[in-house]
Amino acid sequence: MEYKSNHNVVYSCKYHVVWCPKYRRKVLVNGVDIRLKKLIEEICGEYHIDIIEMEIMPDHIHLLMEVDPQFGIHKAVKLIKGRTSRVLRQEYGWLRSRIPSLWTNSYFVSTVGEAPLSVIKQYIENQKNV
């Protein structure tokens, strides 16, 4: 197992996070998915959040990431959802007319403690084939 550290904490906190567009609409298509992936990578880079695996489906997102426990998973997800919503709705005007807000308020999160990382990565990779 690989550990990370900040100034006063050594950690290994990996999370599988899933969230959906409002009303589970299939709006993550026609270039929105590609731009979303790039935005998530930029945001995570800024805040030192490691993306282990990411898959964007037309109506939901799977993200396997490692987050500093002092930063917090809730703060990370809130930040990613907030900024991506604002930028995508500015860049793709049809999103504003299709749904009142890009994301639902909720999300699924599961710690990846006992499960082998390779199994979780394979599950996320295979979501496109389902």
Mean per-residue pLDDT for 98-115? 89
Instruction: Give per-residue pLDDT as tens, 66-82.
Output: 999 999 999 999 999 99
**Which pLDDT band, with edges at 50, 70 and 90, does 114 fall under?**
low
Closest CA to 73 of 18, 9, 127: 18
The secondary structure of 2-28 as a DSSP string is --EE-SS-EE--EEEEEE-BGGG---S
Cβ-in-10-Å burial (0-12, 13-18, 19+) of 61 comes to buried
The single residue of 3, 11, 107, 123 carrying the catalytic annotation is 123
Global confidence as pTM: 0.87
Mean per-residue pLDDT for 38-60? 96
* Domains of the chain and any CATH numbers: 13-129 (3.30.70.1290)
**Which pLDDT band, with edges at 50, 70 and 90, does 126 fall under?**
confident
Task: Give the Cβ contact number of residue 118 at 10 Å.
Answer: 8
Closest CA to 52 of 11, 101, 3, 15: 15
State the Cα–Cα distance between residues 18 and 48, nearest whole angstrom: 20
123 is catalytic: yes
Bridge partners of residue 17, in order along the sequence: 63, 109
